[in-house]
């Protein structure tokens, strides 16, 4: 079952190149869960297209199953470089392997790292008071334990 679903999913994603796989699980009771994301987000129509590509090519008479195709959702942590690129310009909260938590705007991404920028208040180098400074961190994806987009409502 897993091989057939994987094959059908890969074929569907080749036809819908703006979409990409985040996760796929098949439980022992043949409950299939596919989580996708897209370069410009995921529409209901995208989920339906992927669902149909899989469902219409599996035989329920041969093996019963249930299928859910979902978008990654805003609360799900980022897991692929393509997701960081898609969220360029948005605020991100990152937990690193060193135990740090950093919040900043994604200003640049590559296949191996993400650049975050933020403003911080720090003591003045001379005299009393604080000054606002621009900070930057370049984080390799391998140093990120969890990264979540910070949703703001205006």
14-30 confidence digits (pLDDT tens): 999 999 999 999 998 99
Task: Give the sign of the dihedral formed by CA 110, CA 139, CA 103, CA 136.
Answer: negative
Residues listed for the chain: 154
- pLDDT tens-place string over residues 83-141: 999 999 999 999 999 999 999 999 999 999 999 999 999 888 888 889 999 999 999 99
Q: Answer yes or no: are the C-beta atoms of 53 and 13 closer than 8 Å.
A: no
pLDDT at 154 over 70: no
Domains in the chain, CATH or no CATH each: 2-71 (3.30.300), 81-149 (2.30.30.100)
Residues 6+ apart with CB under 8 A from 133: 119, 120, 121, 122
SS3 assignment, position 93? strand
- pLDDT tens-place string over residues 52-67: 999 999 888 888 999 9
Give 136: exposed, middle or buried? Use CB within 10 Å, 0-12, 13-18, 19+. exposed
Task: Give the sign of the dihedral formed by CA 67, CA 73, CA 77, CA 79.
Answer: positive
**Cα separation of 34 and 38, whole Å?**
13
User: What global pTM score does this model have?
Assistant: 0.80
């Amino acid at each position: 079952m897993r091989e057939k679903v994987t094959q059908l999913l890969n074929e569907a994603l080749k036809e819908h190149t703006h979409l990409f796989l985040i996760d796929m699980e098949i439980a022992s009771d043949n409950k299939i869960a596919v989580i996708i994301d897209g370069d410009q987000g995921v529409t209901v129509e995208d989920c339906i297209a992927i669902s149909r590509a899989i469902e219409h090519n599996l035989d329920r008479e041969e093996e019963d199953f249930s299928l859910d195709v979902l978008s990654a959702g805003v609360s799900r942590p980022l897991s692929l470089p393509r997701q960081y690129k898609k969220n360029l310009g948005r605020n991100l909260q990152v937990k690193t392997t060193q135990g740090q938590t950093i919040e900043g705007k994604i200003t640049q991404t590559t296949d191996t790292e993400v650049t975050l920028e933020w403003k911080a208040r720090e003591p003045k180098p001379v005299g009393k008071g604080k000054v606002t400074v621009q900070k930057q961190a370049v984080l390799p994806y391998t140093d990120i334990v969890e990264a979540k987009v910070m949703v703001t409502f205006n």
